[in-house]
Chain A
Amino acid sequence: MADFSQSQPQTQSQPIRQFFRELVPATDTLLWYFGGLVLFFFGVMLLSGLLMLFHYQPSAAPTTAPDGTPLLLARITDTTTWLGVEYLPGQLVPVRADSSGGNADFPTPLRSAAEVVCDSATGRPVHPSAAWVSIEHVVMRQTEFGSLVRSVHAWGAQLLVASLLIWFGGLAWQGAWRKPNSAVWSSGLLLILLVLASAWTGSVLPWDRLGYAAAWVGSSLPEQGIPVVGEPLAQAMRGGKEVGGGALTRMAAAHTALLPIALVLVLIFHASWWRRGVVSGNRGYDPSKPFSAAAVLAAGCGLLLVIYPFIASPFNPASPFFLLPLLLLPVCAAQLLNRLAGGAAVSVTSSQASSDGLYRQLVCWLLVAGALLTLAIAAPWTRGEGGFPIDLTQSQLAATQLRPEWYLLGFYQLLEWCSASVAMAFLLSVLLFLSLLPLADRPASAAKGRGAIRWMVYALFLLFLFLTLWGYMEVGG
C-alpha cells in the first residue's frame, strides 16, 4: 500500500491527499467496505443515469418516429432480424403507422414476423409512450452499449440499496449513533430516505405496468396512512388526483434533478461530519488471525452463488439470495487481498496507516465493479411481465401480478397484516425513534453496555429480517 505519511515531500496535491486521508481512515472490517461501496455505487448511478438522460424522454404522450410519423405497438410472432437486432416471438416493438394511422407500415423484416397489438377492451391499436419507447426500444436495442448502461443503472440500484442496508444495519448494531457521531447518524438516515426515494421514482420512469403500479402504490401510502397532510402529499407526488402523464413528469424531475442534487448535498455534509470521528469504530483486527471472518464469509457466499441457480427455479438473479452473495464475495476478496498486501505491518490504529484507506477501498471498488459488469452483461435488466407499456388512452392496465422489490417485502408483509394507516404509523415511529437515538443515548447507558435502547434496536432488526423473510416466502422465488 502506498504510504503518504509525513516523510513524503510536500507536493501540490498534498491538500487533496490530506482530504482523502482523513475521509478514509483505515480500518478494514468488512462493514467498513460497505460505506465506501455506497459512495462507489452512487458514482455509478450518477454516471449511468446522466448517460441515459441523453436518450430518455420523460413523456407519457404517444410517441412518434424522429420524422413525426406516429408509432404503434407490434408483437413479434416469428424470430427475425431488424436493424441488426435479433427479435424473438413475444417481444414488443414500436413500428410506424401508415398514413391512415390505424395500421402498421411494417419494415420488410417485420412484414410477416410481427402483428399490431390491439387493446383487448377497445380493439384499437396501442400507442406506446415516448418514455417507454426511449428506454425499452431506443436504449435497450438501438443504442450501442445501451443494454449495458441501463442494466448497470438498474442492477446498481439493487446493489446500492443492499450496501446501504448492510452498512446501516452494521452501524446500528454497533451503536453508531453515540455522541461524536450524532450528526453523521442523522444525515445518514436522511441519505437512506433519499436513496429509497430515488429507487422508487426511478422505477416509474420506464412508464410500463410496473412503473405505473409503483407510482400508484407509493403515492397511495401517505394518502391512506397519514392523516391531514397525507392526501395533499400524495397529490403533490402524482401531479393530480390520479396517476397520469403528469406523475411521470414529476417523478422524472425528482429522479433526475431534485433527488441527485439533494443526495450530493447531504453526502457532502455526511462525509465531512464523518471525518471528525470514525463511525465504524477503529477496532482493527488481529494480525495473527488475518483471514478468519472474510474467508468464512467468502466461502459461504461462493457456495450460495454456485448452488443458488440450481436450487431456485426459475432462476431469478434479482433474488436477495443471489444478489447479497454476489456483493459480499468481492468485498471479502478485497479484504483478503488487502490483508495479504498490507500484511501484519499495518497497524490500523496508527495515523500513518490511515492513508491506506483509499487504496483498500479502491481494491474493493475494482472487484465490485467486476461483479456489477458481469451481472449487467450476463443478465441484462428486464422488468418481465411488468415491462408492458402503458397507454393512457387505452384501458389495458390489466392487473399483472407484480412483485415488490426484495427490500420492500418486509413492509409489504406488514401491509398484509395490518391497515395502511397502522403500517405507516409504525414506519414513521420507527423513523422517529431512529432519528432521536442520539438524544436518548446518554453516555451513562453506553457505559452500562447493552442498555434498553440497544435491545430495541436489535429487536427492530430482527423484526425487519423476519418480515422480509416471511414476505419472501409468500411471494416465492
Chain B
Amino acid sequence: MNSSRRTTLSRLLWGAAGVVALPVAYVAARFLRPPVTEPARCVAGSIEKIRSQPTTLVRVGLNDAVVQPMPDGTLRAISLRCTHTGCPVRWVDASREFHCSCHGGRFDSDGRVIAGPPPRPLQRLRVEQSGGNVIVIDEPPSDEPPSA
C-alpha cells in the first residue's frame, strides 16, 4: 500500500478517535454537575399562628427565612441568605432593615438593596398552604422567575 493512502487512513482514524473523545468530554462535564434535588421545605406553623404574628422566623433547608402576612391577605417569605456571598442577614428593628455583617450589605423591609455590595434583593421563597399549615419551599415563588 502506498504511503499517501496510509497517511490518509491514519488521519481518518485519529479523526474518528477525536470524534469519540469530544462527546466523552461533554458527557463527563455534564455528569459532574450537581444532581437535581427536591428543594428543601419546612412547615412554618398553622395558618392562624402565622397570620397573627408580624414575622415568623423559620429554617428552610440550610438557611433562615421570615414569613410575613401582607396587608392584601397573602403570605410572603423572604430568605435571610445575603445575595452577595451568602452570609446570614439579620433583622435590625431600630432601623427596620436587614443587615449583613459580612460586607455591610443592607436591605429594606421588603428585601430591596439599600447599601453595600449585594447585587440583588433578598430572595423571595415559595409559600404554600396545606392541611391548615403554612409551608415554605426553598425555591422562587411561582409568580417570580428564578433570579440569575
Contacts and interface: CB of A to CB of B under 8 A. Distances in A.
A30 interface: no
A108 B71 CA distance: 28
B123 to A, nearest CB: 16
10 contacts: A1-B9, A2-B6, A2-B10, A47-B28, A55-B35, A66-B62, A82-B38, A144-B33, A362-B17, A363-B13
A105 B40 contact: no
A359 B33 contact: no
Contact-residue size bin, chain A (C-beta under 8 Å from the other chain): 35 or more
Given A149-B31, A369-B20, A142 B1 contact: no
Interface of B: 1, 3, 6-7, 9-10, 13, 16-17, 20, 24, 27-28, 30-33, 35-38, 40-41, 43, 61-62
A105 B9 CA distance: 60
A67 B27 contact: no
Contacts of B35: 55, 138-139, 142-143, 146
Contacts of B61: 66-67
Nearest to B135: A105
Given A51-B31, A144-B31, A148-B27, 4 more contacts: A67-B62, A143-B36, A145-B31, A366-B13
Contacts of A310: none
Contacts of A105: 41
A2 B31 contact: no
A296 interface: no
A43 to B, nearest CB: 11
Contacts of B24: 47
Contacts of B41: 96, 105, 107
A262 B118 CA distance: 51
A51 B1 contact: no
Rank and list the top 8 A-B pairs by shortest CB-CB distance, nearest first. Answer: A2-B10, A67-B61, A142-B35, A144-B30, A345-B1, A67-B40, A142-B36, A138-B35
A81 interface: no
Nearest to B60: A67
A84 B37 contact: no
A65 B40 CA distance: 8
B38 A65 contact: yes
Contacts of B10: 1-2, 359
A66 B36 contact: no
A172 to B, nearest CB: 32
A143 B33 contact: yes
A145 B38 contact: no
Contacts of B37: 65-66, 83, 142
B1 A143 contact: no
Contact of A69 (B1, B31, B40): B40
A417 interface: no
Contacts of A3: 3, 6
A341 interface: yes
Residue among A99, A145, A343, A366 facing the most chain B CB atoms (10 A cut-off): A145
A363 B9 CA distance: 11
Nearest to B38: A107
Contacts of A139: 35
Nearest to A55: B35
A239 interface: no
Contacts of A343: 1
Given A144-B31, A345-B1, A2 B38 contact: no
Contacts of A149: 27, 31
A459 to B, nearest CB: 42
B126 to A, nearest CB: 11
B63 to A, nearest CB: 9
A362 B37 CA distance: 40
Nearest to B30: A144
Contacts of B40: 65-67, 69
